[in-house]
Structure formats: structure tokens, C-alpha cells
Structure 1
Amino acid sequence: MVDIDAAGGLATGALIAGAVEKPGGVAGDEHAGTFSDCGEPTTANFCANCGQPTHVHRTLLHLGEELLHGVMHFDARIWRTLPLLVANPGRLTREWIEGKRTRYVSPLAIFLFTVFLMFFALSFGGAALMPTETRSVDERIAGTETAITNLRAQIAEAETRNAADSPGAEGARAGLQAGLAGAEAELQALKEAKASGPRADGLTVGSWQASMADMAHNGNIRIGLGDKTMQEKILHKLANPDLAVYKFQQTTYKFAFLLVPMSIPFLWLLFAWKRGFTWYDHGVFVLYSLTFMSILFMLLGVLGRMNGWLAGFLSLVGALAVPAHMFAQLKGTYGLSIWSALWRTCFLLVFCLLVSTLFLVAIVALGLGA
């Protein structure tokens, strides 16, 4: 089922993005009189002074047309912007900074629309990040028992070998032992859950939601964030995992814009000693980069629902696309050499990890601790 809040957020984001683009409207064939905004005489389809179209529509049909236009597309410029964003992000960023803007969608508009579209897609198709368990408890017990049998066979085989003949064999055996202990603990928990019957809270026995709720109730989750009151609020929401995931998603897309001001100072640090680059340049870079990451995240979310080696291969390609895109955008935007772009890409990846961590902490505090 489509999330109504997410659908509303998508429409709002598209309309905000359309407002940022400042569409010129549709001009008619009337050229008589004066423009209503500034009083200048009409001489063409648009006013040279204020940009208002000559013919001002006053029909309900045109109001609907503007709504659809804002939600569905940014006219032909989107088809010139997206290919460059993927294949040559440095050129796109550089041309926008240099003032060649009429052919492209603005970085702020495309960022807003893409972020809202991403979370709408996640709400429509379900959160690909969270595990979905469709097997019954009996099926999970049988699968866990099979895994335990295989692990015991692997341990027995490893113990018959001479550790000296295989470097790292001792560590491999320790890993197998740890895996066996975890599987046995999971099997015990599943059997206890089955014996206890249906849960009073309505959660599926043996599901990740049930495990999360139990850990929250039993105090097995440690929250080192904020004061005691905030920690209690977070634990209370985690006791209802589906609601917690919903709140987390909603808060994330509502405050996604915070990634921009959080990222710009770190990018500035990479060029603090170089003249000719302004904070505006870094802002354009961040907006286009985050737009690409949002599109990539949507694609990976779709691939996460596929099975087979192709899905794994494409997911690996998607993961490698992140540093490759950063490298290409840095090199093209700032006119860097290969070495300069390479070491800045390494630092930028570290900065992205730091910003993402800070952002997630803020989202947890805002969404679950409120």
C-alpha cells in the first residue's frame, strides 16, 4: 500500500523544486496591453523586464496542468542533466558554476525532487534495508538445524587437519565455533518462541520485529545518546519496531536537506589553501553529488530485492560507483590532476562516513527521541 504521507511528501517536494526552478509558464498569442506585474507594454511572449508570460491563464484546467508539470518533470532539461550527472558529473558541476545554466536543472531543484522521490519509492515498495522474513517458525527451525549440522561437519573436518599445514586454520576453526554457538542460540530462541505460542503484542513469533521488541523490553539495548528521558523515549519506540522504522524514514526524508550544510565545510577543508573556489562552488558540488547518491541508493534498493549472482554483481558495481563518481566529479569540477583528485577522494569518503554518522545520530534523536 502506498504511504499517504510519503505520496504527499513527493508532491510537496516536486512542487518546491518546481518553485525553485521558477517556471516561466505558457505564453499565449495575445500581445496587447501591458503586463500586470510591472506595467511594461507587451511586445513579445514574455516581458523583458519581469519575465511574466503575455497570456496569463485563469482556468482550472491550467492549474491542474501546472500541478502535473511540477510533480512529473522539469521539462527537457532533466534529460540533459541526468546523463551528465551520471557520466560526466565534473562537467555538469563546472558548467553550472560558470553560469551555463539554462540547459540544466538547478542542483537544488533536482536534489529536492530526487530525495523526496527516493523516500516515496521506499515507502511504496517497502524498506529494502530491513530484513523481511516470510518463512514460518518451523521452517526457520529446520533451516537452523541444517546450518548447525553443516557447521559441526566443517569443524570436525577442520580438527582432523594439521594446523601447521594450513596457515590461519586456527582462526578459521574459531570462526566456525563462534558461528555454531550463534546458530545454537538462535535455535534455542526459536524453540522457546514456538513453545510460548502467539505473542500478546501481535508480532510474528521469531521475526526481527519480535526480537527487537524483546530486547527493548528486557533492557538488552544500550542507548548512549542524550539524557535518560530521551533514552527512554527511544526504547519505547523500539518496542514497536514497525512504528520505529516508519518514524525513522519520515524523519530522514524531512531533514535530508541537513546533509548539505553538514557536508560543505568538510569539502571546503580539501581546498582551504587553494584560491578561486568559493563556498557556493562547494554547495553545487554537494547538491549534485547527493543527487547521484540518492539515485544510486534507489537502484540498489531495487537490486536488493533480486536473487542470484547478477544481483550481487550489480550491487558490487553500485558500491564501487560511489568512489568512482566522487573522483570524476572532483577532477572535472576543480580541474585537478589524477593524484590530487585521488587523495581528495579518499579523504572525502572518510568525511562522508563521518557526516553520515552524525546525520544518523541526529535523525535518531529527532525521530525516535522526540
Structure 2
Amino acid sequence: MVDIDAAGGLVTGGLIAGAVEKPTGKAGDDHAETCTDCGEPTTGNFCANCGQPTHVHRTLLHLGEELLHGVMHFDARVWRTLPLLIANPGRLTREWIQGRRTRYVSPLAIFLFTVFLMFFALSFGGSLVPDETRSIDEQIASSEAAIAELRAQLVEVEADIAADEPGAEGVQTGLQAGLAGAEGQLRALQEAKAGGPRADGLTPGSWQANMADAVHDGRITVGLGDKKMQEKILHKLANPDLAVYKFQQTTYKFAFLLVPMSIPFVWLMFAWKRGFTWYDHGVFVLYSLTFMAILFMALGILGRMNGWFAGVLGTIGVFAVPAHMFAQLKGTYGLSIWSALWRTCLLLFFCLLVSTFFFVAIVALGLGA
């Protein structure tokens, strides 16, 4: 079922973006001779003094049209913006900074709308964390197969040790640790199956049940905030589905914080170069985050497919992020290949920092509230 809050977020995001990005179009064939807003004489479809359309609609049909336009429509400019954002982000960012803006959707408007659209689209598949769809018998069979494979590998490694192969003892230690973990997981699954239905209603052997048990057994600790906040976070983690829901909703509500958190790090990479302003870096960040949201949305939807296709998508996602950063840096700031390359590496590190800060903030806001 579609998340109602996410659907409401989509509508809100469309209306916000519509307020930021004023649509272009005709005001109507008939117009008043005096502006209904400022009272100035008019001669065309728009008031020359305040810009209001001189044809003022007052029909219920037009009210519905405005709602649909705000939620789903950025007129023809979106079809010029998105291809450049994906294939040539440096050109898009540079042209907006240089003032060639009428043909493109503004970075703030498309960022707001994309973030809300992303969480709306992901809500069709449920939570951002996939549910465990396998039965407990299937999980037991999978664990038994993994244990058999590890034991076979240990036999091969023991033969290598007998032949004095270098590094074989280290591999043996790693395989033994993996075997111990797999056997422990198998025992937990067998105990869960023998115990029957859980009192909390969670599926035995699912990740939700494992997390709830870890919280109750004290195997999960929280080092964020004071004792009261830690207790609130642990209380929500004991109900994993609620914790994921709260985390997801808080993430989408506070996604805009990524912008002010990211701009200073981009400025650091150009602090000694003249000609670039904080506004330029803000446009860069907004378009970059928009692409990342689109990429994450596509991977989140398509990645629910099983088999080799999910692995291919993961590989594409890993390489698409630095490739897009490199292209946008090089095109936006007119950098050489080497300058764009080292800044891309630095920007990836900055992204890791910002993501960590943002994750901690979301946990505190969503689970500690």
C-alpha cells in the first residue's frame, strides 16, 4: 500500500516547487484593462507593473488544473533539464550560474520535487529496508548450504597448509570464524522454528526479530545523546518496523539539511580560486544532490528484482556517483582532468563526512524524539 504520508509529501513538494518555479504559459485570450492586483492599466496578458496575469480564472476546473500542474508539471523545461543533469551536469550548472535560466528548471525547485518524488516512489515498495520474504525453513536450508560450503573450503585449506602454501593459515582462521558464525545463525533459526509464534508478532528468523532480540538482550548499545535519548532510541529499535518508518519519514522531511551541510565543503575545494561565489557552490550542490536522489530512486525500485540484474545495478551505482561528480566539477568550474580528478576524490570523502553527520542527526531527530 502506498504510504499516505509520502503521498502527502509529494503534493507538498510539488506545491513548494511550484511556488519556487513559476510556470510559464498564456494567461488567457481575454484580459482586463486594469490589473486586479495593483490597479495599473494593462495592455497585454500580464501586468507590466507586478507581473500578474490579467486574465484571472475563477473556476473549479482551473483550481484542479493548478494542483495537477504543481504536483506533476514543470512544463517543457524539465525535458531540457533532466537529460543535461544526467549526461552533462557541468554544462547545466555553468549555464544556470551564468544566467541562461529560462530554458531550465531551477536547481532548488527540481531538488525539492525530486526528494519528495523519491520517497513517494519508494513507498510503493514499502520500507527502504526490504522485508525478509523467505520462510524460516528456506533460511535454515540456506544456512545449512553455507555451512557445507565453508566446511569444504576448510578441507581444501588444510591440504594447502600441509603443502606449506603461504597465507593458508590466515585463510583457515577466517573460514573457521565464518563457520562458527554460520553455525550460530543456524542454531538460532532452529530454536526460533521450535519455539513457534513469537509473542510480539514478529516472524521468527526475520531481521526484525533478530534486532528486537538483540535490543532486549543488551547486544545493541547506543552512544548518542544522554541516557534519556538512548532509552528512546532503544525503545524504537525494539520495534524495528516503527524505527525504519520513523527514520524514513525524518530523512525525507529533513533532506534539505544536506544542502547547507554540503556547501562549505565544496567551498573549501575552491577557497583560493577567485571568481567562484557561495551561490555557485549552492547551485552545484543542489543539482548534484538531485542527480543522487534520482539515481537512488532508480536503484531502489529496480534493485528489488532478484538475480544478476541487481548486481549489475549495484555496480552501475558505485561507478555512476564518482563519474557524475567528476563531469560536473570539470564542466562547472572549467577544470583540467587532473584538477577535477583530485577534487572528485576529495569530494567523495566530504560526502562520507556529510552523510555521517546527516545520519547521526536523523537518528537523533527521528528515533530520539
TM-score normalized with structure 2 length: 0.97
Task: Give deviations 1:300-319, integer Å, cap 9, x for gaps.
Answer: 11232122323312321221
Q: What's the counterpart of residue 149 of structure 2?
A: 150
Contact 1:259 1:359 in 2 (8 A): yes
Q: What's the counterpart of residue 103 of structure 2?
A: 103
Please state how far the C-alpha of 1:43 moved relative to its aligned partner: 1.1
Contact 1:13 1:116 in 2 (8 A): yes
Alpha-carbon spacing, 1:302–1:169, altered in 2? closer, same or farther (3 Å): farther
Tell me the distance in 2 between the aligned counterparts of 1:182 and 1:330: 45
Which amino acid in structure 1 is aligned with residue 339 of structure 2? S
Which amino acid in structure 1 is aligned with residue 319 of structure 2? L
Task: Give deviations 1:66-103, integer Å, cap 9, x for gaps.
Answer: 00011111000000000000011011001101111100
Tell me the distance in 1 between the aligned counterparts of 2:266 and 2:162: 49
Q: What's the counterpart of residue 328 of structure 1?
A: 327
Contact 1:303 1:315 in 2 (8 A): no
Alpha-carbon spacing, 1:98–1:4, altered in 2? closer, same or farther (3 Å): same
Task: Give deviations 1:107-158, integer Å, cap 9, x for gaps.
Answer: 0000000000111111121235x24322222222122112212211110121
Q: What's the counterpart of residue 88 of structure 1?
A: 88
Please state how far the C-alpha of 1:217 moved relative to its aligned partner: 1.2
Q: How does 1:1-370 map to 2 (within 5 A)?
A: 1-24=1-24, 26-128=26-128, 130-162=129-161, 166-370=165-369
Please state how far the C-alpha of 1:26 moved relative to its aligned partner: 4.2
Percentage of identical aligned residues: 83
Contact 2:127 2:245 in 1 (8 A): no
Please state how far the C-alpha of 1:56 moved relative to its aligned partner: 0.6
Which amino acid in structure 1 is aligned with residue 116 of structure 2? F
Tell me the distance in 1 between the aligned counterparts of 2:309 and 2:96: 37
Which amino acid in structure 2 is aligned with residue 316 of structure 1? T
Contact 1:25 1:53 in 2 (8 A): no
Tell me the distance in 2 between the aligned counterparts of 1:32 and 1:368: 55
Tell me the distance in 2 between the aligned counterparts of 1:100 and 1:166: 65
Contact 1:24 1:51 in 2 (8 A): no
Alignment coverage as a number of residue pairs:
369
Contact 2:33 2:43 in 1 (8 A): no
Structure 1 runs not aligned, ≥5 long: none
Alpha-carbon spacing, 1:8–1:131, altered in 2? closer, same or farther (3 Å): closer
Please list every run of at least 4 consecutive aligned residues from structure 1 whose deviation after the TM superposition is greater than 6 angstroms: none
Structure 2 runs not aligned, ≥5 long: none
- When the two chains are superposed, the root-mean-square deviation of aligned CA atoms in Å is 1.4
Aligned partner of residue 160 in structure 1, secondary structure: helix
